[in-house]
Amino acid sequence: MATTLTDSQKPFSLDPYHVSDVFGFILPAPLTELPPYYQPWMDIAQHVTELIYSHTLRSHILKMPLLNTRFLESHRELRLAHLALSVMTMGYVWQEGENDTVKILPRNLAVPYWKVSQRLGLPPILTHADAVLANWKKRDPHGPFDMENLELLVTLPGGDSVRGFFMVTLLVELAAVPAIKSIPLVINGVQCGDAETVTRALEEISQAMEGMTDALKLMHAYVKPDVFYGIIRIYLSGWKDNSSMPAGLVYEGIQAEPMEYSGGSAAQSSLLHCFDELLGVKHEENCGAFLTRMRNYMPSSHKHLIQDISLQPSLRGFVQQEASELLTAAFQLCVTKLMALRSYHINVVSCFITIPAARARQLRRQGNSSQEETVSRAPTALEETGTGGSGIMSFLKTVRDRTRDVSLLIPLLQIPYGLGRGEGREPCVLSKTTQPSRTAS
């Protein structure tokens, strides 16, 4: 029977975690400009791609003045500053590819970058929170939040495909908003013993997970696999677990010893961490350690939300105790949809990393050192890993399979989750054919 919360049991709410009812973890209405004092940063950040292609980004950054960060006042100013300094840093490090990296990030970039990072609780490297959550604006402010009406604030080499990669990922985040909003309903329903409320909230979550998978499918329409693998990927790479930069990077003016930071990773999104903690998914030791480390690459309030969800009474235990057919089915559907989402992500990784990597190896074996095929430009150091440093395919499959372990009705879970083996695949095209145009719903 449902009960009410006592005075000592305050209802769980998203309010303390800076999560928007409309945008979820996405930063609402990011700024497009910093105060005029910081124009030297924006002048470079908004032209990083051109400066990389002209091999002059490093020289421009070396001439940049050392600016004081104390005039950055609001959270949105700090987020835009971090985004601008991040793309400058990635371009500075990787301008000449994996064979001519740098050992030192110059003081005039490293010092303000470090200080802004400290104030935000983010690391001094490009993260999902920068490139996706805080890197968007509407072309028409009154128009829809879809692919045709969104554009990046700053970009990196890769043309339309880099825009597509970040914008599709943003739409996955947006699709998850109904699920994030339903998490407090689940937690409070469990605390009150309200099985009906929990059932309805879980149904909302599973529907949102399906929407996330549908949004992820847009990746095939807006991103060319050979461009992602051969051009974009290196600029998302970090200096931890990367043989191109085995010693890490010295942030001049901060400390003399080099520091190591992981590159961008889907594991830096707070979404699946929240779902795992809510459903009770327990990951294998190595995978769990990597996922936990990736939480240090999230905004601190989002990281605290994940931690606090993990401290709540067990949803799975509540479902077992209630022994309600409808509640059990709703829980099971969430598990099924989460597995399907992770399976589709494996499919995307196969298309955009595994298959292009095999083609790049084939070209090397044939002694083809030309740049005629885009995949041949890709760094060899990342062939078996994600840009975050994980052994990508084994990691993703292990994480997916551990999700299955929380199932309560194993016979109902015989879904076709083997997308990585060819079932349910979208086509992977490595040629220069034009991708079809699609509009997000």
Distance CA 389, CA 393 (A): 12
Give the separation between CA 51 and CA 186, rounded to whole angstroms: 49
H helix runs in 121-194, sequence order = 128-131, 159-175, 177-192
Q: d(Cα 16, Cα 216) in Å, to the nearest integer?
A: 29
C-alpha to C-alpha distance for 151 and 131, rounded to whole angstroms: 12
**Dihedral angle of Cα 38, 44, 47, 48, to the nearest 10 degrees:** -130
* Residue 334, CB-side half-sphere exposure with 13 Å CA sphere: 32
Is 273 within any annotated ligand binding site? no
By C-alpha distance, which of 267, 272, 283, 270 is closest to 406? 283
Cα–Cα separations (whole angstroms), residue 212 to 206, 216, 242: 10, 6, 30
Lookup result for tokens 């993990």: 310
Phi and psi at residue 440, in whole multiples of 5°?
A: -65, 145
Q: Which two tokens stand for residue 218?
A: 């847009």
Tokens of 169: 């990922």
* Alpha-carbon gap, residue 222 to 228, rounded angstroms: 11
Q: Which among 152, 154, 157 is positioned nearest to 50, based on CA atoms?
A: 157
CA dist 174 and 133 (Å) reads 10
The amino acid sitting at 138 is: K
Between helix 325-349 and helix 315-322 the angle, nearest 10°, is 140
Q: Give the residue numbers of the binding site for heme b.
A: 345
Q: Give the residue numbers of the binding site.
A: 345
